Amino acid sequence: MKNAIAIAAAAMLAGACTTTEKTPAPEPGAALFGSFSYEGNDSIYAICPLADSASYHNPILPGWYSDPSVCTNGKGDYFLVTSTFCYFPGVPIFHSRDMVNWRQAGHVLNRESQLDNFLGQHISGGIFAPDISYNPANGTYYMITTNVGAGNFFVKTTDPLGGEWSDPVYLPEVQGIDPAFFFDEDGKAYIVNNDDAPDGKPEYDGHRTVRVVEFDTATDKCVGERRIVVNKGWRPQDKPIWCEGPHIYKINGQYYLMTAEGGTGDWHSEVIYRGPSPFGPFTPYENNPILTQRNLDRERPNPVTCAGHADLVQTAEGDWWAVFLACRPNKNGFENLGRETFMLPVDWTADGWPVINPDMQPVAMSGRREGVTTDEACRTFGNFSVCERFDSTTLADTWMTLRTAADSLYSLSSTPGYLTLKCADTDATAKGTPAFVARRLQHSAFGCATDMVFLPDSASQAAGLLVFKDEKHQYFLGRGIDKDGRHEVFVDKVTPEGTTTVASVPVDANASVLTLKVGSPDGLTFDFEYSADGGKTFAPVMTGADARHTSTAGAGGFTGTTVGPYAINTRHNNNK
């Protein structure tokens, strides 16, 4: 019954969001998308309802919002950023006044001059693990990160809400990944990050170090020796892997170093150290890890896994909170949502150690912050619906393209009220920029739909909705022409072996307007449907498609699954 309700609700939303005005004619070789609807229907939110208006759901940012970092300016403003890898624009930035209600304030990296060398990179390359920090000494916000194709860099601004961030300042002396700034009370600054084993000679796979170097904010350069402060991890004798995502904090006169360990899978965790200076020496907490889910029963209901890569912030009221990434796998151990952003309060032990989930209990699916009222108008968590009519001059902040801005491939002005996509010669199987405008899947059970105006001129042209994990793991629900010249609505499946049409139905060659719908009742399968009557009735093209194909468990990588309008001029080129 719940699945039927979810599907019906998605159909109602699709109908309500469908464009009903007189249908324009697209230019040759282009498709018009007049609307896009999205609705989440995850049952967990009914199983774990919010207690009151001061409560929130975990994850606070559902869907692929990985590697969160958070900071405050000490004046009641909080800012949070996450990774974007090879998507453009890069690094979404969220703002809050209470740590519960978050609004996206744009992207830190919103110009191509800030994002170099993405072309040719696998989708899980690009921007890794951004860190956002505020330096009260000069009133400046810094975002520092790794561009896998170019090295470590930072950008800065004095106005993260309305101002522009600078062009990148690269730091060739800071090797490795996952850099973070620390601004001390005496005005000095430091960069801490993950790097290779000493002398580049690892004793085992995953042997890494954490290193610290002083940074001069006046010249934007590193100064002095770059020193190793952690070698291997908190228990070197156990050969820990991938000590990464480090952050330094000064709390009550002592310096705390926090890092992730265990890789990005089920063994992921967060550990903490303490020392007398930013260079240590650092002593680990004897009861590490302070956050993990690796000890829990894999068969537990509604599991949260892979918890780690955390950051801490103190609120204006004096309490401490942690943001971190984690996953919500389905009962078969996979998901299409990627690593999501969770938030929990920090407990402090009697001897001054921060702990995120005491006794390594299951991560709570809801939390509460006293004195806060959740704002339904800007809710980022739970089930929600979105109706995008493409009636603005710019894309909403939820939309992304691959590797570049794709300005030459889409337009919001050539046919006002529509997203125009040109059928591009580069498709999503290549490491370039296709005509694909994407948003994250944020729920396991979801429905999304678009009304599309499109008549292909040749068998090479096709347009529709793409479900994208990476270059070799995709589903494409589209309108096209088969190799025998018949018009069809099809589902193409992209695999490492090539592209296969796995389902198709004939369509009237003169029917230029279709509504396409992609959904899932439970996160385990995808259903692909179409309508030729404006979303009033839908017919299946393919139901029960294996959703594991586009999951991290099935495809690997660091991103989650995205979906959105797509147009190509290469159909049948790669078909088996």
- Alpha carbon distance 526, 445 (integer Å): 9
Q: Which of 39, 42, 67, 488 is catalytic?
A: 67
* CATH number, domain 2-20+29-42+383-568: 2.60.120.200
Q: Are 561 and 555 in contact (CB under 8 A)?
A: no
pLDDT of residue 298: 84
Give the C-alpha distances (Å, rounded to integers) separating 305 from 202, 269, 287, 308, 553. Answer: 28, 10, 20, 9, 13
**For the CA atoms of 109, 112, 114, 117, what is the dihedral angle to 10 degrees?**
120
Residue 214 among the catalytic residues: no
Joined tokens for residue 471: 């270059």
Active-site entry in 131, 178, 214, 244: 244
Of 521, 565, 556, give the one whose Cα is nearest residue 265: 556
Instruction: Give the separation between CA 518 and CA 448, rounded to whole angstroms.
Output: 5
Segments of 369-497 assigned E as strands: 385-388, 401-402, 410-411, 419-422, 435-436, 439-440, 446-453, 462-470, 473-481, 487-495
Q: Report the alpha-carbon distance of residue 452 to residue 534 in Å, rounded.
A: 10
Token look-up 């070698």 returns 231
Chain-centroid distance, C-alpha 331: 22
Between CA 57 and CA 78 the distance in angstroms is 18
Q: How far apart are CA 514 and CA 249, in angstroms?
A: 55
Q: How far from chain centre, in Å, is Cα 433?
A: 19
Fill in the DSSP letter of residue 84.
Answer: -
3-state secondary structure of 183: strand
Every domain of the chain and the residues it spans? 2-20+29-42+383-568, 67-375
Locate tokens 């919002």: which residue?
65
pLDDT at residue number 63: 98
**Cα–Cα distance between 437 and 91 in angstroms, integer?**
17
pLDDT in tens, the chain (576 residues): 333 333 344 444 544 576 555 678 888 899 999 999 999 999 999 998 998 888 999 999 999 999 999 999 999 999 999 999 999 999 999 999 999 999 999 999 999 999 988 999 999 999 999 999 999 999 999 999 999 999 999 999 999 998 999 999 999 999 999 999 999 999 999 999 999 999 999 999 999 999 999 999 999 999 999 999 999 999 999 999 999 999 999 999 999 999 999 999 999 999 999 999 999 999 999 999 999 999 999 889 899 999 999 999 999 999 999 999 999 999 889 999 999 999 999 999 999 999 999 888 999 999 999 889 888 777 899 999 999 999 999 999 999 999 999 999 999 999 999 999 999 999 999 999 999 999 999 999 999 999 999 999 999 999 999 999 999 999 999 999 999 999 999 999 999 999 999 999 999 999 899 999 999 999 999 999 999 998 899 999 999 999 999 999 999 999 999 999 999 999 987 666
Bridge partners of residue 438, in order along the sequence: 400
What homologous superfamily does CATH list for 67-375?
A: Glycosyl hydrolase domain; family 43 (2.115.10.20)
Q: Is residue 92 within 8 Å of 82, Cβ to Cβ?
A: yes
For the question of residue 131 being annotated catalytic, the response is no
How far is residue 379's CA from residue 296's CA, in Å, rounded to a whole number? Answer: 30
Alpha-carbon 295 to chain mean position: 26
Strand ranges inside 262-409, DSSP E: 269-275, 283-284, 291-292, 305-314, 320-327, 340-345, 347-348, 354-355, 366-368, 385-388, 401-402
- Bridge-based pairing of strands 283-284 and 127-135 is unpaired
Give the C-alpha separation, 525 to 543, whole Å. 8
As given in the structure block, the two tokens for residue 271 are 């550990």
Backbone angles phi, psi at 181, to 5 degrees: -90, 150
Cis peptide bond N-terminal to 289, omega within 30: yes
Closest CA to 231 of 277, 198, 280: 198
Q: What is residue 358's predicted lDDT score, i.e. its pLDDT?
A: 86
Q: How far is the C-alpha of 389 from the C-alpha of 382, rounded, in Å?
A: 23
pLDDT number for residue 377: 77
User: What's this model's pTM, rounded to 2 decimal places?
Assistant: 0.95
132 near 141, Cβ under 8 Å?
A: yes
Cα angle for residues 547, 549, 551 (degrees, 5° grid)? 75
Task: Output b/e per residue, 258-285; b: 16+ Cβ within 10 A.
Answer: bbbbbbbebbbbbbbbbbeebbbebebb
